Amino acid sequence: MSKQRRYIIALDEGTTSARTLIYDCKTNEIVNVVNQPFDQIYPKPGWVEHDPTEIWAAQYSSLVESIARSKIKISEIYGIGITNQRETVIVWDKKTGEPIYNAIVWQCRRTTEMCEKIKRNVSLSHKIRQKTGLIIDAYFSATKIKWILDNVEGAREKAERGELCAGTIDTYLVYKLTEGRSFVTDYSNAARTLLFNISTLEWDNELLELFDIPKCMLPKIVSNSEIVGYTSLLGNVDIPISGMAGDQQSALFGQCCFEEGMAKCTYGTGGFILMNTGDKPVLSPSKLLTTIGWGINGKVTYAIEGSIFNAGSSVQWLRDELHLIEHASETEAIASSVPDTAGVYVVPAFTGLGAPYWDMNARGAIVGLTRGANRSHVVRATLESMAYGSKDILENMKKDSAVTLKELRADGGAANNNFLMQFQADMLNCRIIRPSSIETTALGVVYLAGLATGAFNDLKHLEETITFDRVFTPQMDEETRQKKYAGWKKAVKRSLAWED
């Protein structure tokens, strides 16, 4: 390790905030985290947007503030890693760098009808799944890009003339940091677009034609751990940008799930479970997603994934819309204040349901209400919904991969909630392991950036840095577990196909 260089910076651009984390490679500790929230825009029911200029301002502001607070020297920085909300897309003018429309967020359902039309062609849907590992859903990037081209005046003509750039948030941030010199995306983000062939590792011409997206709009694809450009925005020293990964793949890497069969669950705005499946893609009969975990030194590692669209966002709903809580941290004590939910189930299908249901027309529901149901029951049922959603995914993941799950590594903000972690262990009937630092999404790109710049030697070196805070073991009997889960499945049925 260089005596002069010591720190790696992680830019963690999420769905509700942009954060900067500074990692000390000598002490293996996080020395500073700065968080800058940004606005959520809901133009119509089911539509979700972000202002790209606000995202950039929030991310750059948090970066500058974090360095100032830490009092580190620019010359001490090994490199910058970027992790980001996936599937969210921005289209911007190649000459000016200005977005031509707001970012369309992964949660947005505006292209549902477009997706349903494609899905009616069964053979085409099968081909898309074989190529991308994904299913046709408004969740992914391709239909969002098409919507912008079809609905912003003059956009399609400019795109065909090569005057527009399209990319996920990682691409946009690198473009801004390098002042337009680098236009790239990594394997993990490309694999979430419905435009990338996960076997050939290239943009797929047939898919580009299907979605009517000019190839010249799309970035160069790079590995997850390599120097892709330099930024001089922080001073007179060029800092390498040397690690990139979508947030969930980054968390899998940050949890050191390097071996086949290892799995993690991240509780963020959504809930995301990924399992390492090794060097070959595994297509799931249960409609879980096949994706790329990471590519390093010419070797690609694949993963299987299930997504819960609303996890932490359901707690935000309790706070901001229902006003049942003032702070998310209150939910643990409130949920523990009652012995159960009194038969209440909350299905937070605010933007449809993800795996394994894949129902874009599902909507949220509170069922099982009686006159005795109160605030505590609704709060507890909302937390329990995250555990039920995880069980939905992991039951199918175990079946599809033929792997017996002995433990699940948990991270994200809600992993701090001891009630949720215990209930998750009870529902899954396996150990839940919480690392000492739940900042594993940011740590993933710290590790990737450090491998590319020499801060870390190899994967074994990384495994030696991780420590664990607590292990939750199942306490619930099987009869109770099955009864509670059956109630959840019944509740989900009430929310399916709500919208016409």
| pLDDT category of residue 268 using cuts at 50, 70 and 90 | confident
Q: What is the mean pLDDT of residues 102-107?
A: 94
| pLDDT category of residue 210 using cuts at 50, 70 and 90 | very high
Q: What is the mean pLDDT of residues 196-221?
A: 95
Angle between helices 478-495 and 375-401 (to 10 degrees): 100
| pLDDT category of residue 466 using cuts at 50, 70 and 90 | confident
Q: What angle do CA 454, 455, 456 make, to 5 degrees?
A: 90
Residue 39 pairs in a beta bridge with none
Tell me the pLDDT tens digit for each residue of 394-404: 888 888 877 77
| pLDDT at residue 364 greater than cutoff 80 | yes
Strands 103-104 and 299-308: unpaired
CA distances from 406 to 264, 304, 476, 483 (A): 12, 17, 16, 22
Which residue in 437, 330, 420, 430 sits closest to 375, CA to CA?
Answer: 330
List CB contacts of 450: < 8 A, sequence separation 6 or more: 8, 25, 78, 79, 81, 242, 243, 456
Dihedral sign from CA coordinates of 391, 395, 400, 406:
positive
Tell me the pLDDT tens digit for each residue of 11-37: 999 988 999 999 998 888 899 999 999
Looking at 3-7, 113-117, 264-268, which range is the least confident one? Answer: 3-7
Q: Which residue has the tokens 């805070």?
A: 469
Q: What is the mean pLDDT of residues 236-259?
A: 92
Q: Which residue has the tokens 């209150």?
A: 330
- Residue 139 is predicted with a pLDDT of 87
Tell me the pLDDT tens digit for each residue of 149-161: 999 999 999 999 9
Tell me the pLDDT tens digit for each residue of 172-192: 999 999 999 999 999 999 999
| pLDDT at residue 493 greater than cutoff 70 | yes
| pLDDT at residue 2 greater than cutoff 60 | no
Q: What angle do CA 51, 52, 54 make, to 5 degrees?
A: 70
pLDDT over 70 percentage in the chain: 99
pLDDT over 90 percentage in the chain: 71
d(CA 404, CA 116): 35
Q: What is the mean pLDDT of residues 72-95?
A: 93
Strands 29-37 and 17-24: antiparallel
Q: What is the mean pLDDT of residues 332-349?
A: 96
Q: What is the mean pLDDT of residues 72-79?
A: 90
| pLDDT category of residue 422 using cuts at 50, 70 and 90 | very high
Which residue in 60, 10, 71 sits closest to 450, CA to CA?
Answer: 10
Strands 271-278 and 299-308: antiparallel
What value does the mean pLDDT of the chain take? 92
> pTM for the full model?
0.84
- Map residue 397 onto helix, strand or coil: helix
Q: What is the mean pLDDT of residues 461-487?
A: 92
- Residue 3 is predicted with a pLDDT of 56
Q: What is the mean pLDDT of residues 289-309?
A: 91
- Residue 452 is predicted with a pLDDT of 94
List CB contacts of 3: < 8 A, sequence separation 6 or more: none
| pLDDT at residue 5 greater than cutoff 80 | no
